[in-house]
Amino acid sequence: MNLVTPILIYQMGKVGSETFERSLVNARLPNPIYHIHFLSWKTIKAVENFYLKNAHVGLPEHLIRSQHLRRIIDQHGDKLRWNIITLVRDPVSSEISGVFQNIARDLPNYKAG
C-alpha cells in the first residue's frame, strides 16, 4: 500500500471539481488523487444501469473511477487514511449546468436551431 495519504475529491457533479482536480495535479503533489461522484455500490449500480439502458455512449470515466475506488475500499478499507475534499455549489445553477452538459445524452435527437 502507498504510504502517502491519498486525496479523495468526492462530491456531486457540476461544482467545479475537475478544475480543482487539475489544480492539484498541476501542483505535483506526491499524493494519489481520486476524483469521484459516487461511492456506494447501490448508487454506482443504479447509475451504471442508467447509462447502459439510456445513454448509448458507454460508461463515463467518473463512474469507472468510482467502481475502481470502491473495490480498493472494499479490499483495504480498514487500513486506509484519506484527505477528503468536498465541494458544493448552488443547486439551481448546478442543475442548469448539467442540462447543457448532458443534452446530447438526455436528448439525442435535439438539434440547436
* Stretch among 27-31, 65-69, 86-90 having the lowest mean pLDDT: 86-90
C-alpha cell at 67: 467502481
**Cβ contacts of 23 within 8 Å, gap of 6 or more:** none
C-alpha cell at 3: 504510504
- Could you tell me the residue ranges of all domains in the chain? 7-106
Tell me how many degrees the CA angle 18-60-38 measures, rounded to the nearest 5: 70
Average pLDDT, the chain: 84
Q: Is the whole model's pTM more than 0.75, yes or no?
A: no
Does the pLDDT of residue 62 top 90, yes or no?
A: no
Q: Sign of torsion, CA 53 59 62 65?
A: positive
How does pLDDT run across 96-111, given as a tens digit for each residue?
A: 877 777 777 777 787 7
Query: In the prediction, which pLDDT does 29 show?
Result: 94
